[in-house]
């Protein structure tokens, strides 16, 4: 007996996609998501922790080479490596902090009128959970790496160059332009793309708040950048035994004005800038924050930010010193430039130390660094020539003021 077998070939296809990471709060445990701007995968583990595949990878050599470059370029750097009073109790840590939860300070009017919103339109990303974390009081700064999407790097570079071209070498008399040109004297302003607003808190040995500093630092996109505190010197441990730091906000005023400048430029430049744009604005998803902490400090608080921050790397000071020594030295071809004598590893790779004593901006604008190792006066005394001192010859061995001669015959 034979029969007829009929089969149907589907003439349609079925497709699916992952949840967009901007809706990650709706994800359930053990779910995979995708950043639909970059194609990067985000996984929410069964314990609710988010894991980024690419952003959490630290290339150690490149990471520390960038950090070492920044240390060498800053004349007043202080860390537990130099101070060493709490060397064995201190650590160097790198954390990743999500910026996706930061809120944009766009006004209700901007939202109501559907005005463009983002960093290049002058808005600021504000940290909704300003939870301070402990850093060692024997350091006068921290490092930050603000990560943009790969395709935003072109727009960031183009807008920053447009702004710098307008103000860096400005010699006119317009007060607003003069004020902007003066900012280039600030540390790292020329290269910077973003403004990082932070607050640092110092607590006395009784646990009471002694002092605070809320200020702006200037950061380069996608690169470790040193953010030095405005207070260059550190407190002694007889006065302070706890220090905490919080990141308040991120903004990009140089890029925003650079964008405005292009809108008033010719069609060629506008076409060029538009060709570098990937989205309506610049996207920042996360940032790396690297800092020193001393676990025996009072009021110690880990960097958690209520789930917004995770540790990626922790090194003891011995391992940090060895890792830093192995890292490349971009500023050193047999030379080290700085106010302090180089660390051991730098002396092994270099043979000349150029000690910075002062910076001459113009003939009437001289900045004395204030180094403790050499001053212009001591340098002049050393180079002034031979000093003649009167003395005498003596046969008395205990006579310390004269030259002792012993009769061997």
Please give the residue that has the higher pLDDT: either 56 or 207: 207
Helices and strands counted in the chain (H then E)? 10, 21
Q: Does residue 386 have a pLDDT over 70?
A: no
Domain extent, residue 25, equals: 19-51
**Residues 32 and 147 both lie in one domain:** no
Residues 395, 404: contact at Cβ < 8 Å? Answer: yes
- The pLDDT value recorded for residue 400 is 78
Q: Does some domain include residue 176?
A: yes
pLDDT classification of 370: cutoffs 50, 70, 90: low
250-276: average pLDDT: 92
pLDDT classification of 136: cutoffs 50, 70, 90: very high
CA 316/CA 16 separation, integer angstroms:
46
Q: Which are the contacts of 251, defined by CB distance < 8 A and separation ≥ 6?
A: 119, 123, 124, 125, 194, 195, 197
Q: Does some domain include residue 290?
A: yes
pLDDT per residue as tens digits for the range 280-301: 889 898 899 999 999 999 999 9
91 forms beta bridges with 293, 316
- The pLDDT value recorded for residue 167 is 95
- The pLDDT value recorded for residue 330 is 47
pLDDT classification of 142: cutoffs 50, 70, 90: very high
Q: Does residue 7 have a pLDDT over 70?
A: no
Q: Does some domain include residue 390?
A: no
pLDDT-above-70 percentage for the chain: 84
Q: Does residue 358 have a pLDDT over 90?
A: no
**Residues 42 and 159 both lie in one domain:** no
pLDDT classification of 402: cutoffs 50, 70, 90: confident
Give how many domains the chain has, as a whole number. Answer: 2
Q: Does some domain include residue 267?
A: yes
**Residues 173 and 27 both lie in one domain:** no
Residues 402, 394: contact at Cβ < 8 Å? Answer: yes
Min mean pLDDT across 27-41, 75-89, 155-169, 197-211 is at 75-89
Largest Cα span, the chain? 138
- The pLDDT value recorded for residue 292 is 95
342-368: average pLDDT: 63
pLDDT classification of 2: cutoffs 50, 70, 90: low
**Residues 238 and 211 both lie in one domain:** yes
CA dihedral angle for residue 382, residue 386, residue 392, residue 396, rounded to 10 degrees: 40
pLDDT classification of 306: cutoffs 50, 70, 90: confident
Please give the residue that has the higher pLDDT: either 34 or 305: 34
**Residues 37 and 91 both lie in one domain:** no
Q: What is the mean pLDDT of the chain?
A: 85
């Amino acid at each position: 007996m034979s029969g007829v077998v009929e089969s149907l070939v589907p003439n349609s296809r079925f497709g699916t996609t992952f949840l967009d990471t901007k809706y990650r709060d709706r994800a359930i445990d053990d779910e995979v998501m995708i950043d639909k701007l970059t194609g990067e995968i985000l996984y929410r583990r069964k314990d609710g922790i988010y894991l980024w595949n690419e952003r959490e990878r630290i290339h150690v050599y490149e990471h520390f080479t960038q950090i070492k470059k920044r240390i060498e370029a800053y004349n007043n750097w202080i860390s537990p490596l130099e101070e060493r009073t709490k060397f064995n109790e201190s650590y160097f840590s790198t954390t990743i902090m999500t910026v996706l939860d930061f809120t944009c300070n766009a006004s209700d009017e901007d939202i109501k009128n559907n005005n463009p919103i983002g960093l290049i339109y002058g808005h600021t990303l504000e940290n909704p959970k300003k939870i301070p974390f402990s850093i060692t009081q024997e350091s006068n700064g921290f490092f930050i790496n603000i990560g943009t999407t790969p395709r935003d790097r072109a727009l960031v570079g183009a807008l920053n160059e447009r702004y710098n071209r307008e103000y860096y070498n400005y010699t006119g008399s317009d007060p607003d332009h003069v004020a902007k040109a003066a900012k280039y004297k600030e540390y790292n302003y020329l290269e910077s793309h973003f403004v990082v607003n932070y607050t640092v808190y110092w607590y006395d040995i009784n646990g009471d708040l002694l002092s605070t500093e809320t200020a702006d630092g200037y950061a380069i996109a996608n690169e470790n950048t040193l953010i030095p505190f405005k207070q260059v010197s550190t407190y002694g441990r007889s006065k302070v035994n706890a220090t905490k730091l919080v990141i308040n906000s991120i903004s990009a005023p140089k890029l925003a004005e650079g964008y405005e400048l292009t809108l008033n430029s010719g069609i060629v430049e506008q076409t060029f800038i538009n060709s570098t744009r990937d989205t309506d604005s610049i996207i920042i998803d996360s940032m790396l924050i690297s800092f020193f902490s001393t676990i025996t400090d009072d009021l110690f608080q880990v960097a958690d930010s209520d789930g917004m921050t995770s540790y990626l790397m922790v090194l003891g000071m011995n391992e940090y010193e060895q890792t830093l020594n192995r890292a490349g030295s971009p500023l050193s071809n047999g030379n080290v430039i700085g106010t302090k004598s180089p660390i051991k590893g730098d002396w092994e790779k270099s043979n000349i130390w150029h000690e910075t004593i002062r910076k001459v901006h113009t003939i009437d604008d001289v900045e004395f660094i204030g180094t403790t190792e050499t001053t212009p006066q001591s340098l002049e005394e050393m180079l002034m020539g031979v000093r003649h001192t009167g003395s005498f010859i003596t046969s008395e061995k205990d006579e310390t003021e004269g030259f002792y001669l012993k009769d061997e015959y």
